[in-house]
Structure 1
Amino acid sequence: MTSPSEVHIQGTGTDPVVRARAAVRRIQQRLSDRLADLTHAASSGRTTDEPSGRALAEFCDGELRRHLAAGVEALHAPAAGAARTGLLVRALHTTAEDLVRRIDAIASGEEEDVPAAAGGLQAVLAVHFSMEQDVLLPALAELPGADLPGLVSDLGTLLEGGELERPAVVDVREIPHGKRHPTIFARYARLAPGEAFTLVNNHDPKPLHREFEAAHPGGCSWDYVESGPERWLVRIGKANAGV
C-alpha cells in the first residue's frame, strides 16, 4: 500500500520524476547562464592574461568540467548498457568528449580568441544539455529498474564533491521491496566494465534476472554463488567494453 507521503499526481510538480527533471534543468540553466555571462565579460579582452579571460577559463576548467564528469557518472552510466538507450549514450559521449577538448584548449591558454572559443563551447553545450533533458531523462524514467529521482540525487552528491557508494556486497533483505530493484540497478550502473558485485537476497531473484536481460541484453553476467533455501547470493557483473 502506498503511504500518503508517496502519493503524487503523475505529470505534475508533485511527481518525483517531473521534479527530478526540473532539478537537472535548473542546474544546467545556471551553468549555461554563467558561461554566457563570463563569455560576454571576456569579449572586451582577447587573451586569458586578462582577469575576465581567466575567470572564464577557471569556470570552464572547474565547475563546468566537474558537471560533465558528474553527468556521465550519474546519468549516462545507468543508460549505457541498455538496449534502448545505448546509441543515445554513445552520442552523448561524443558531445561530452568534444566539450572536454574545447575546455582543455581554453584552460591551457591555447586559444588566442577565448570569447570566440567559449561561444563554440556554448553552442555544443546547448546541444548536449538538450539531448540530456529531452531524450536521456525521459528514457531513464522508463528504463526497467532505473530510479530517476535517485540518479539525480547522485548527480547532486557528485556536484557537491561527494562520492557514490560502490559496495562489493549489496544486501537487500532489509530494503523495502519497491526499492530493491532500483538499488541493485544503481549499483550495477557504477560498475566499470569487467567489475562485479554480489547480491544477497532472501529469495531467488528470477524477476530481477529477467529485468537485467531485458535492459542489458548480453551486457551483464549472472552467477549463483549460493541458492537458498534461506539466502541467495548472486554475482552480477558488467561485460568488458566491446563484448
Structure 2
Amino acid sequence: MTLSARAPHDAGSRQDATVAAIRSHHGRIGRTVADHALTVQNAIDRLSSPAERRDQLLDYCVTEVLPHAEAEEAVLYKAAGQHDHLRLLVKAMCDEHVLLRGLVDRLAAARTPAEVGGAAAALDALLRSHLDKENDVLLPALVDAGTDLAALLEGMHEILGPDAEEAEGGCACGGCGCGAAEAYPADGADGTGGADELDVRVLPHAQRHERIFATFAALAVGTSFVLVNDHDPRPLYNQFAARFPGEFSWEYLETGPREWRVRVGRL
C-alpha cells in the first residue's frame, strides 16, 4: 500500500527531474554558443582574424549542437508527432533544425570577417529562439500529453546532458529541479571557506585579472563569488567568454558609479 501511494509522487519527481535536466543542458548549449559568437565578434572588432574563434564555434556545433538536434528529432520530436495537435509544432521545430544546419554550413564556408560575424550572430540568435521554444512550448506540451520523458530519454545524454546520471540520483545542480544552479551558496564560494566577496580595488591593476581567474578556478560547480571593482568589468566578461565558454554565469548586482558588483558562478 505504501509503495503504490508513493508511485505517483516518484513518477512526478522523475518527470520534473528529466525536464530540469533537459532545460539545464539547453542552457549550457545556448551559453556556450553565445560565448563563442561573442569572441568571434570581439576578434572582428579588434581587426584581428576571427578564424580561430570561428573554428572553435564550428567544432562545438558539429560535436555538440547538431548531434543534440538529431537526437531530439529521433526521440522527442517523434514522440510529439504522435499527437495530432503537436504535429505542426514538430514540423516547425524540424524546419528550424534545417535552418540551423544551413547556418553551420554558412559559417564553415565564410571567408571574410563580415561573413564570419554575420553567420555566427545568426546562428546564435536562431539557437536562442529555438531552445526557448523547446523549453517553454514543446516540453510542457509533451508533459501535458502524458509522455513519460524519464522513460523515453533514459540514457540519452545527447538530450539530457552529461550530468543526467547524477540528476537521476538527486541533486546535480541543474538536473534535479532543486534550483541549486541559480541559488549559489554564499559561504566558502571563493574556495577559502570565508566570505564570497573578492574586492580587487585594493590590488594593483596588473594583479587583478590573475587573482580573479584563480578565484574562479577554485570554485566548485554550482558555487560563485561576488567581484567588486571600481569600473565596469565588461572586458573581463569577454575574457571569460573566450576562456570558459558555457561554463560561467555573470550577474550584475550593482552598476556604479563608484562600485560595480558582479556575481560570477561556475556552471
Where does 1:232-243 land on structure 2 (aligned, <5 Å)?
none
* Contact preservation (8 Å) 2:18, 2:149: yes
Relative distance call for 1:130 and 1:158 in structure 2 (3 A) is closer
Aligned match of 1:27 in 11, 25, 28?
25
Deviations 1:40-65 (A, max 9, x none): 22223349873222111211222111
- Asked if 1:69 is matched to 2:67, the reply is no
Gaps of 5+ in 2: 163-267
- Indicate conservation of the 8 Å contact 1:58/1:107, yes or no: no
Structure 2 contact 36–56 (Cα < 8 Å) conserved: yes
Distance 1:71 1:5 in 2: 31
CA distance in 2, matches of 1:104, 1:135: 28
What's the offset of the Cα at 1:94? Answer: 1.5
Structure ranking higher on relative contact order (CA contacts 8 Å, 6+ apart): 2
Aligned residues: 157
Residue 143 (structure 1) shift: 2.4
Measure how far apart 1:99 and its partner are: 0.9
Shift of 1:158: 6.6
- Structure 1 match to 2:107: 106
Preserved CA contact (<8 Å) 1:66 1:159 = no
Give the CA deviation at 1:114: 1.8
1:127 matched to which residue of 2? 129
* In structure 2, distance between residues paired with 1:72 and 1:110: 31
TM-score normalised over the length of structure 2: 0.51
* SS at structure 2 position matched to 1:115: helix
Give the secondary structure class of the aligned counterpart of 1:81: coil
Normalised by the length of structure 1, the TM-score is 0.56
Which residue in 2 is equivalent to 1:139? 141
Deviates more, 1:100-109 or 1:46-55: 46-55
Instruction: Report what 1:223 is aligned to.
Output: none
Q: Does the C-alpha gap of structure 1 residues 33 and 110 become closer, same or farther in structure 2, counting only changes over 3 Å?
A: same
Aligned pairs for 1:173-192 within 5 A: none
Match of 1:236 in 2: none
Equivalent in the alignment of 2:152: 151
Contact 2:81 2:87 survives alignment (8 Å) = yes
1:86: which partner in 2?
A: 87
What does the per-residue CA deviation read over 1:98-124, in whole Å, with 9 as the maximum and x for residues that have no partner? 111111111334675323321111111
Q: 1:75 to 1:44 in 2, by over 3 A?
A: same
Please state whether the residue corresponding to 1:153 is helix, strand or coil.
coil
The residue aligned with 2:9 is 8
Are the counterparts in 2 of residues 99 and 124 from structure 1 also a CA contact under 8 Å?
yes
User: C-alpha distance in 2, partners of 1:4/1:109?
Assistant: 59
Q: Distance in 2 between matches of 1:96 and 1:74?
A: 14
Other-structure match for 2:36:
38
Matched residue, 2:211: none
Relative to structure 1, is the Cα distance of residues 29 and 159 closer, same or farther in structure 2, using a 3 angstrom cutoff? closer
Over 6 Å off, 4+ runs: 158-161
The residue identity in structure 2 corresponding to 1:92 is M
Contact 1:80–1:89, Cα closer than 8 Å, also in 2: yes
- Pairwise CA RMSD: 2.9
Structure 1: 5+ residue stretches without partners: 162-243
Give 1:176's aligned residue. none
